[in-house]
Structure 1
Amino acid sequence: MSWDKPVKLHELGRGPVRLTLEPDAAERAAVAKRLGLKSLPSLSARVIVKPWLDGAEITGRFHAVVEQVCGVTLDPFEQSLEGEIEVRVVSAGSPHAASSDGGELELDPDAPDAPDVLETDAVDVAGYVVEHLALELDPFPRKPGATFDYQPPEEETSPFAALKKLTEPKP
């Protein structure tokens, strides 16, 4: 089972579409599995989809509670996450879509991102919520208060140390 909430571009002709998204338990379990989480106790988002050029602009916020496994203690722990959503999309063939002619690509880090190109005439709003949640996840989760105490071996055991012992004169 997957979680999706499509909004067709032609629906935006009547004005912005406001959505409150809250997946059910089975959908949250599918999202958790997809993102490599132990579980996803809660996820909610408030999103506005409005017309933008010949496509759409998706803006909003999400809030989630994720359960991950600590990379130090291997204990599961919950963490609250929230983030902003801001994406622009256009239909395939749009003059506003990023060029794919194979020419040089100029990147301006201060410029807004190029719009995503849709494969159909619908925007999967839930997909963008999950994408932005994934961007907020810590790839190396650490339970609050968990510390990694590494004690290096007292004796140096490099391959060169072994060679040095072989070349030392014997008493």
Structure 2
Amino acid sequence: MTESKPNTPEFTHEIELGEVGKHGKTFRLSANEEERARIAARLDAPSVEKLDGEMCISATKSAIRVEGKIDAELTRECVASLEPMQERVSEDFEIDFLREPPEEMSEEEDLEAPEVHEGSRLDLGELLVQQLSLAMDPFPRKEGVESLAEAYAPPEKLSPFAGLKSILGKDDDNQ
């Protein structure tokens, strides 16, 4: 796995928002082998075999809208058996940004407001990596795999008083 340098983007494709316009422009991205290795390291995955995306960006003076689709294939580690497994991500997404922070808002309104994007450039590669991290299964598990805990745990959990019951000759019905 390739280590990424601090502050070095794993996958970048910056666009100038002024060239997009309100009617929108479509971009298609595909990460190369080196970029996929850096993305895998960032996402703590053994490997990313494919990362493609298509995004339609529209921008006005006050807002930016991103509508896209992500298509990815990656190798993950099963949380139950620790074995490598394949995960496929194919998902549509939409993101809205404001160009300037809104005037005063309540705390509740602030939580629901779109993120603010400052500057005239937008990194579509970084957006795609962020969407991949959100779409990945947080607990990847191979189908039909028994967890290590299930395989090696005692069959039932006994009470510390279970031994006393057997010494005293009492069971659950005769206490």
TM-score (structure 1 length as normaliser)? 0.76
Report whether the alignment pairs 1:105 with 2:104. Answer: no
Provide closer, same or farther for how the CA distance between residues 54 and 108 of structure 1 changes in structure 2, counting only shifts above 3 A.
closer
Gaps of 5+ in 2: 1-7, 169-175
Question: Which residue in 1 is equivalent to 2:159?
Answer: 156
CA distance in structure 1 between the aligned counterparts of 2:23 and 2:71, rounded to whole angstroms: 25
CA distance in 1, matches of 2:116, 2:69: 22
Residue 46 of structure 1 pairs with residue 49 of structure 2 = no
Q: For the Cα contact (< 8 Å) 1:85–1:129, is it kept in 2? A: no
Deviation of residue 52 (structure 1)? 4.2
Equivalent residue, structure 2, for 1:134: 133
CA distance in 2, matches of 1:51, 1:3: 22
Relative distance call for 1:44 and 1:6 in structure 2 (3 A) is same
The CA RMSD measured in Å over matched residues stands at 2.9
The number of residue pairs the alignment matches comes to 154
Residue type at the aligned position of 2:76: Q
Structure 2 partner of 1:87? 95
The whole-number CA distance in structure 1 between the counterparts of 2:113 and 2:29 is 25
Q: Which residue of 2 aligns with 1:143?
A: 142
- DSSP-derived class of the 1:4 partner: coil
Moved more, 63-72 or 116-125: 116-125
Provide the rounded CA distance (Å) in 1 between the counterparts of 2:68 and 2:106. 33
1:53-92 matches, within 5 Å, as 54-91=62-99
Q: What's the % identity of the aligned pairs?
A: 24
Aligned partner of residue 147 in structure 1, secondary structure = coil
Matched, 1:7 2:15: yes
Equivalent AA in structure 1 for residue 24 of structure 2: P
Q: How far did residue 156 of structure 1 move?
A: 2.8
**CA offset digits 1:53-105 (Å, max 9, x no partner):** 523211110110111001111110111111112111233xx2xx345x5x632
Helix, strand or coil at the partner of 1:120: coil
How far did 1:14 drift?
8.2
CA distance in 2, matches of 1:58, 1:23: 19
